[in-house]
Amino acid sequence: MNTKGFIFDLDGVIVDTAKYHYLAWKKLANGIGIDFTEVQNEHLKGVSRVNSLEKILAWANKTISEGQFMELMAKKNDNYLSYIAKMDEGEILPDVTETLDFLIKQKQPIALGSASKNAREILKKVNLFEKFDIIVDGNDVTEAKPNPEVFLIAANGLGIKPEDCIVFEDSVAGVQAANTAKMISVGIGQQEVLYEANDVFIDFTEMGTTYINELINK
Ligand code: B16
Ligand code: MG
């Protein structure tokens, strides 16, 4: 049997933490007199914490000192972590556990490739930590998506060539990162948004094991 490297994004692929990022950014923005909408939140998917705050300030034409910037980042994360603390297995997106178990049964190596610095904590909360051979997150990279660094480190850690890796991603920046790394990009979400991906599925229930087997044997 062939061996491929399967790399999963976290937020929006394994769990829907975008809603918690939204609540935490909204509270922070409103606290400094800035409006923040769900549409704007869409543009922060896959974007690092630093780049997210830069965008929010730029949308509002607001400049702040370096010290204030660091303070706001810490404040947002503290608030975000209060939501994470309440997470459990019930928040895993449909058929994600089944897909991971299928890959493990097929002896395919699995990595996490996330921009989040809270990835390890979240995986532990939802009881999926042990299923990954390697975890690469926001603490391990110097460049944020769409730079392919996070996925290239993951492929290297798995010992699989980038062209033999498959990336599951819900963000445009993440799909672009996978494409730049010369990996197969599989979008999880809307075709109209993720049209740059090799294939797009609304979620893992739509994907099924026949497609995964095709990827393994490609
Ligand atoms: P944190 P992913 C990304 O995770 C999120 O999509 C993005 O909204 C968030 O700003 C980023 O992680 C950083 O997260 O503040 O927890 O370090 O989709 O790459 O798994
Ligand atoms: Mg994501």
Ligand with an atom nearest the CA of residue 119: 1
What pTM was estimated for this model as a whole? 0.95
* Contact predicate 215/184, CB 8 Å: yes
Instruction: Identify the pLDDT of residue 111.
Output: 98
Query: Which residue carries 């739509």 as its tokens?
Result: 206
Q: At what angle do helices 18-31 and 49-59 cross, to 10 degrees?
A: 50
The bridge status of strand 165-169 relative to strand 134-136 is unpaired
Q: 3-state DSSP call for residue 199?
A: strand
In the structure, which protein residues have their CB atom closer than 6 angstroms to any atom of ligand 1? 9-12, 21, 44-49, 52, 77, 114-118, 138, 171
Q: Which part of the chain is CATH 3.40.50.1000?
A: 5-15+89-216
pLDDT in tens, the chain (218 residues): 799 999 999 999 999 999 999 999 999 999 999 999 999 998 999 999 999 999 999 999 999 999 999 999 999 999 999 999 999 999 999 999 999 999 999 999 999 999 999 999 999 999 999 999 999 999 999 999 999 999 999 999 999 999 999 999 999 999 999 999 999 999 999 999 999 999 999 999 999 999 999 999 98
Fold of 18-84: DNA polymerase; domain 1 (1.10.150)
Q: What pLDDT is recorded for position 57?
A: 97
Location of each CATH 1.10.150.240 domain in the chain: 18-84
Q: Return the residue matching tokens 């990336």.
A: 167
Q: What single-letter DSSP state applies at residue 93?
A: P
Residues with CB under 5 A from ligand 2 (ion): 9, 11-12, 46, 170-171
Top-tier CATH class for 5-15+89-216: alpha beta
Atom of ligand 1 nearest to the CA of 14: 20
User: How far apart are the C-alpha atoms of 170 and 45, rounded to whole Å?
Assistant: 8
CA of 186 to the centre of ligand 2 (A): 12
Residues linked to residue 186 through DSSP beta bridges, in sequence order:
168, 199
Sign of CA dihedral 141, 118, 92, 173: negative
